[in-house]
Amino acid sequence: MAKVKVGVVGTGFIGPAHIEALRRLPNVEVVALCEVTAELAAEKAKSLGIERSYTFDELLKQDDIQSIHICTPNFLHYSQSKAALEAGKHVICEKPLAKDLAEAEELVELAAKTGLVNAVHFNLRYYPLARQMKVMREKGELGDVYSVIGSYLQDWLFYETDYNWRLEPDKSGDSRAIADIGSHLMDILEYITGLKTVAVMADFNTIHKTRKKPLKEVETYSGKILKPEDYADVPINTEDHANVLLRFDNGNRGVITVSQVSAGRKNRMALEISGSKKTFSFNSESPNELWIGNRDGYNEVLMRDPSLVHKEASSVISFPGGHNEGFPDTSKQMFKEVYAAIEAGKQPENPTFPTFADGYRELLICEKILESARGEKWVEI
């Protein structure tokens, strides 16, 4: 069986995560890695066991590479996705799809024109119990959605000395916590409920108005104590914490909280979706259990098990119940669906995976949330 040959662009946290997931698919082979310089690309390729390394322009000239994964900082997503599509490559892009709506709209139109497979890495949809909640809602088991409560909490920016390129608007954009993790939350809420968010009211807070940016590369001081002169004070203009009220197209309401300064919360996305028949409660740090609340009977806990979920959800489960699946498996399950489309040679008419159009949708919501926070008012979407 001929395998789809893949090139991955970027080797931060998420690039190697893509590579690990792709290596678990029988019909895919990661053959090339790309970085900002040929020297760095060669070094990273060797460390990750990838035979070929290129700069970006060189990568696009490789005729045997059919698919490109864009895993670079946000400000590069638009230009690199556009160039890859124009080179005839299928594209899987990290979120956000672009830095603004005009760029995202252009990418959606270009992808549609080419017919190439396009996807945005909203992988958290692929927790099996997220798919189960969606299917249960579609079958009428949840009932009409009354309310949604969501949160996404992390602590990796808890200290003023915590620093990363995502804190710099020229690289990451004008929103940080909402754009970085709030986008995942908004995507999965609309995915599960089938509702559209029609208006938002946001309140942002920047806990650390100034952060200390290390003047040395992380690798050079790992495990060492920095002195005051090893930092530069940098003003911070993006949000550490955000609360957002939501109005949905069924007339009902929701609320989300997003924070990157919640001590002890490493990567916790929590959902509570209340309907006219049941309530669903799910927490990504315990992704193999779904709490189901009932008004007039016992509450239930559903274990992730292919023999217990609806058959439409069992397709994103690889192991029996009790053999836990988590974050790395979400990318594998998403890429499994994406590469089935790539093997077919074109974007499906009704894709099961998140597309560039979904990337545009989440960018739109994030921009409206940012507009609301700045104006301290309700903003319609």
- The shares of helix, strand and coil residues in the chain, as percent rounded to the nearest 5, are 35, 25, 40
- pLDDT for 359 equals 97
Indicate the SS3 state at residue 89: coil
Torsion sign across C-alpha atoms 123, 129, 132, 134: negative
Specify the higher pLDDT residue, 358 or 231.
358
User: Once rounded to an integer, what is the mean pLDDT over residues 296-324?
Assistant: 97
- pLDDT for 165 equals 87
pLDDT of 130 > 70? The answer is: yes
Q: Of 350, 349, 318, which Cα lies nearest the Cα of 333?
A: 318
d(CA 45, CA 299): 50
Pairing of strands 118-120, 90-93: parallel
What is the tens place of the pLDDT at every residue in 136-150?
999 999 999 999 999
d(CA 163, CA 214): 7
Residue 238 pLDDT class (50, 70, 90 cuts)? very high
Query: What does the block give as tokens for 173?
Result: 């954009």
Q: How many CB atoms lie within 10 A of CB 212?
A: 18
What is the tens place of the pLDDT at every residue in 44-83?
999 999 999 999 999 999 999 999 999 999 999 999 999 9
Strand stretches in 143-250, DSSP E: 145-153, 197-205, 210-214, 231-235, 241-248
Indicate the SS3 state at residue 59: helix
- pLDDT for 274 equals 98
List, in order, residues 6 or more apart from 77 with CB less than 8 Å away.
70, 93, 94, 96, 97, 98, 99
Q: How many CB atoms lie within 10 A of CB 38?
A: 13
What is the Cα Rg of the chain in Å?
Answer: 21
pLDDT of 42 > 60? The answer is: yes
pLDDT of 223 > 60? The answer is: no
Distances in Å between the Cα of 332 and the Cα atoms of 79, 161, 244, 336, 337 are: 26, 34, 31, 6, 9
What is the tens place of the pLDDT at every residue in 251-270?
999 999 999 999 999 999 99
Q: What angle do CA 109, 112, 118 make, to 5 degrees?
A: 105
Q: Of 148, 186, 125, which Cα lies nearest the Cα of 367?
A: 186
Query: What does the block give as tokens for 16?
Result: 């190697």
Within 13 A of 366's CA, how many CA atoms are on the CB side? 33
Identify whether the C-beta of residue 262 lies closer than 8 Å to the C-beta of residue 254. Answer: no
- pLDDT for 170 equals 87
pLDDT of 224 > 80? The answer is: no
At residue 252, what is the residue type? Answer: N
Which residues make beta-bridge pairs with 98? none
Q: How many CB atoms lie within 10 A of CB 7?
A: 26
- pLDDT for 229 equals 79
Taking the alpha carbons at both ends of the chain, their separation in whole angstroms is 46
Torsion sign across C-alpha atoms 275, 279, 282, 287: negative
What is the tens place of the pLDDT at every residue in 325-339?
999 999 999 999 999
- pLDDT for 226 equals 73
d(CA 82, CA 59): 14
- pLDDT for 225 equals 66
- pLDDT for 26 equals 96
Tell me what percent of the residues of the chain surpass a pLDDT of 90. Answer: 92
pLDDT of 221 > 60? The answer is: no
d(CA 72, CA 36): 10
pLDDT of 218 > 70? The answer is: no
- pLDDT for 230 equals 83
What is the tens place of the pLDDT at every residue in 191-203?
999 999 999 999 9
- pLDDT for 217 equals 65
Pairing of strands 241-248, 197-205: antiparallel
The sheet carrying 52-54 orders its strands as: 52-54, 28-34, 4-9, 67-70, 90-93, 118-120
